[in-house]
Structure 1
Amino acid sequence: MKPNIHPDYQKVVFHDTSADTYLLVGSTIKTERTIDYKGKVYPYVAIEISSVSHPFYTGEQRVTKKDGRVSKFKNRFGNRGIK
Structure 2
Amino acid sequence: MGLASSSKDHEEDPQAALEIGLRKDLKSTKISCLQELVTRLRCEAEHHQNMLDFYRGKTEHAKETLASIKRKVVKITKLICFKE
* Pairwise same-fold verdict (TM > 0.5): no
**More RCO (CA 8 Å, sep 6+):** 1
Higher strand share: 1
Higher helix share: 2
Bucket of the pairwise TM-score, normalised by the shorter protein: under 0.3
TM-score by length of 1: 0.27
